[in-house]
Amino acid sequence: MTYRMYLDGQFLEAGNNQTRAIYNPAQGEVMAQVPEATVADVEKAIAAARREFDEGEWPNLAPARRGRILLKIAEAIRSRAEELARLETMNMGKPLSESRGDIADAADSFEYYGGLANKITGEVNPISGRALDFTLKEPVGVCGQIIPWNFPLMMAAWKIAPALAAGCTVILKPAEQTPLTALKLAEILDSIAELPKGVVNIITGDGPTVGAALVKSHDIDKIAFTGSTEVGKWILKTAAETNLKKVTLELGGKSPNIFFADADFEMAIAGAVFGIFYNQGEVCSAGSRILVEKSIHQKLVEAMAERAKQIRMGDGLDSNTKMGPLVTAEHRARVESYVRIGKEGGAKLVCGGNRPGGSLSRGFYIEPTIFDNVDFNSRLAQEEVFGPVVAIIPFENEKEAIRLANHTQYGLAAGVWTKDFTKAMQLVKKIRAGIVWVNHYHPAPMEAPWGGYKQSGIGRELGKYGIENYLQTKQVYINLNQKPVRW
Give whole-number Cα distances, 29 to 89, 222, 328, in Å.
Answer: 14, 37, 11
Q: Is-contact 205 176, C-beta < 8 A? A: yes
Q: List Cβ neighbours of 329 (8 Å cut-off, separation of 6 or more).
A: 28, 364
Q: List Cβ neighbours of 442 (8 Å cut-off, separation of 6 or more).
A: 274, 275, 278, 283, 285
Q: Is-contact 61 167, C-beta < 8 A? A: yes
- CA 360 to CA 80: how far, in whole Å? 29
Of 168, 284, 367, 384, the active-site residue reads 284
Q: List Cβ neighbours of 172 (8 Å cut-off, separation of 6 or more).
A: 145, 147, 156, 159, 160, 182, 200, 201, 202, 203
Alpha helices in 93-151 (DSSP H): 96-116
**Residue 72 — left, alpha, or beta (φ > 0 → left; ψ -120 to 50 → alpha)?**
alpha
- CA 259 to CA 416: how far, in whole Å? 6
Q: Please state whether beta strands 169-173 and 142-146 pair in parallel, antiparallel, or not at all (unpaired).
A: parallel
Told to judge if 367 belongs to the known catalytic residues of this protein, a careful annotator would answer no
Q: Which amino acid is at 151?
A: F
- CA 293 to CA 19: how far, in whole Å? 52
Told to judge if 461 belongs to the known catalytic residues of this protein, a careful annotator would answer no
Run of H or E including 478: strand 471-479
Q: Is-contact 162 188, C-beta < 8 A? A: no
Of 250, 293, 336, 468, the active-site residue reads 250
Indicate which residues carry an active-site annotation.
250, 284
